[in-house]
């Protein structure tokens, strides 16, 4: 029994280090982008190739997240929301976290270059580069606009999934990236607006949008992000020839999120901000699923 409890504890720590839900969401976008592309071209699924894509994304995204944990361990220790993470709480050592992050990232990117086409592998590499180097190291502690580059990193797995089939860049892949890039503020900035988190970012001196600008301006950015992300995925679905009923369903989801965002802009409330945060991930996951179904049913 003791061995199983120890294994459970290790897996729990590992899940916290890689932000398991976030990692799975990003792998999901890459896999569904791949499936959407296969369906739109009426191809058979190459399960071996898809498995390589999923593993490469999982390893590289996990490794990138762990490296970010290593770099941000000082500010994580300050903020209430993050102080109990494995590294600032002392559950793991900095050297082990650095080793895990580096190993996972290198293996994930190397596997992509070995098993996928060079362009999709390069996109996966840029996901790491934009997230760790540009966003976390260079910009996160300096400017509120760092979120844009974090958003680019978040959108690259989806583009990699499409390029793994096409072997080239195209407008639809770009729209999938824009969908996630514009979705990032809806997700991240609503977190920053929650009072406990707002105070944490302020204490850690992280120039998040509501800290250096205003809550009203932050809510405008959230509303704009919701609009652009909705439009980007709808246009991608249209260009893919997705089923009209599915596009209407997606339009309804978009209008719902926009109404919530605009309502929160006009009459802000912590309760509504938290609701937007809670549904943001579901909105993104549902978007990819609906486009896939729309292409299959076209």
List, for residues 145-181, the tens digit of each pLDDT value. 999 999 999 999 999 999 999 999 999 999 999 999 9
**Residue 95's domain spans which residues?**
10-168
Q: Is 225 a domain residue?
A: yes
Query: Do 215 and 232 sit in the same domain of this protein?
Result: yes
Would you tell me how many other CB atoms lie within 10 Å of the CB of residue 278?
Answer: 10
40 and 158, same domain (yes or no): yes
Tell me the mean pLDDT in the region 272-280: 86
79 shares its domain with 222: no
In this structure, is residue 4 part of a structural domain? no
Same domain, 228 and 105: no
In a domain, 1, yes or no: no
Please tell me whether residues 229 and 151 are part of one structural domain. Answer: no
Q: If you write DSSP's letter for every residue of the chain in order, what string do you get?
A: -HHHHHHHHHHHHHHHHTTHHHHHHHHHHHHHHHHHHHHHTTPPP-HHHHHHHHHHHHHHHHHHHHHHHHHTHHHHTTSTTTTTSTTTTTSS-HHHHHHHHHHHHHHHHHHHHHHS-HHHHHHHHHHHIIIIIIIIIIITTT-TTHHHHHHHHHHHHHHHHHHHHHSS--HHHHHHHHHHHHHHHHHHHHHHHSHHHHHHHHHHT---HHHHS-HHHHHHHHHHHHHHHHHHHHHHHHHTT--HHHHHHHHHHHHHHHHHHHHHHHS--HHHHHHHHHHHHHHHHHHHHHHHHHHHT-
**Residue 50 and residue 145 in one domain:** yes
Residues 268, 138 within the same domain: no
pLDDT at 158: 97
- Which of 138, 168, 198 is the endpoint of a domain? 168
Residue 2 located in a structural domain: no
Q: Answer positive or negative: Cα dihedral of 44, 45, 47, 49.
A: positive
Last residue of a domain, one of 132, 151, 168: 168
Say yes or no to pLDDT of 266 above 70.
yes
Q: How confident is the model at residue 243 (pLDDT cuts 50, 70, 90)?
A: very high
The residue whose two tokens read 């120890």 is: 6
Asked whether residue 101 falls in the same domain as residue 214, the answer is no
- End position of a domain, from candidates 168, 201, 216: 168
Residue 3 lies in a domain: no
Residues 110 and 235 reside in one and the same domain: no
Would you say 101 and 67 are in contact if contact means Cβ atoms under 8 Å apart?
A: yes
pLDDT digits (tens, 9 = 90+) for 47-94: 999 999 999 999 999 999 999 999 999 999 999 888 999 999 989 999
Tell me the whole-structure pTM to 2 decimals: 0.94
In the predicted model, is pLDDT for residue 3 greater than 70? no
Kindly report the CATH number assigned to the domain that includes residue 38. 1.10.357.140
Residue 296 resides in a domain = yes
Q: Are residues 71 and 208 in the same domain?
A: no
Q: Are 100 and 66 in contact (CB under 8 A)?
A: yes
Q: Are residues 113 and 225 in the same domain?
A: no
Q: Is the model's pLDDT at 4 over the cut of 60?
A: no
175 plus 254 within the same structural domain: yes
Judge whether 116 lies within some domain.
yes
2, pLDDT greater than 60: no
Please check whether residue 258 lies inside any domain of the structure.
Answer: yes
81-132 pLDDT, tens digit each = 889 999 999 899 999 999 999 999 999 999 999 999 999 999 999 999 999 9
How many domains, the chain? Answer: 2
Tokens 């974090």, residue located: 150
pLDDT at residue 244, as a whole number? 93
């Amino acid at each position: 029994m003791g061995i199983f409890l120890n294994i459970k504890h290790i897996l729990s720590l590992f899940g916290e280090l890689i932000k398991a839900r976030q990692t799975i969401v990003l792998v999901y976008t890459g896999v569904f982008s791949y499936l959407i592309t296969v369906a739109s071209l009426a191809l058979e699924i190459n399960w071996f190739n898809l498995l390589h894509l999923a593993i490469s994304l999982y390893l590289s995204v996990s490794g990138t997240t762990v490296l970010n944990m290593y770099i941000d361990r000082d500010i994580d220790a300050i903020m209430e929301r993050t102080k109990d993470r494995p590294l600032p709480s002392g559950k793991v050592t900095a050297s082990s976290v650095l080793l895990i992050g580096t190993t996972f990232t290198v293996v994930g990117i190397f596997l992509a270059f070995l098993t996928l086409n060079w362009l999709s592998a390069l996109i996966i590499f840029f996901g790491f580069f934009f997230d760790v180097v540009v966003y976390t190291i260079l910009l996160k502690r300096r400017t509120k606009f760092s979120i844009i580059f974090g958003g680019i990193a978040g959108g690259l797995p989806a583009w990699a999934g499409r390029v793994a089939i096409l072997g080239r860049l195209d407008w639809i892949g770009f729209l999938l990236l824009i969908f996630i890039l514009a979705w990032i503020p809806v997700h991240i900035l609503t977190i920053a607006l929650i009072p406990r988190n707002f105070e944490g970012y302020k204490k850690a001196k992280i120039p998040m949008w509501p800290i250096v600008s205003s809550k009203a301006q932050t809510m405008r950015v959230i509303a704009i992000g919701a609009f652009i992300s909705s439009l980007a995925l709808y246009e991608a679905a249209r260009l893919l020839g997705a089923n009209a009923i599915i596009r209407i369903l997606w339009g309804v989801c978009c209008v719902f999120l926009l109404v919530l965002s605009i309502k929160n802009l006009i009459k802000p409330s912590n309760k509504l901000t938290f609701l937007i945060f809670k549904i943001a991930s579901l909105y993104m996951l549902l978007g990819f699923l609906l486009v896939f179904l729309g292409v299959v049913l076209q």
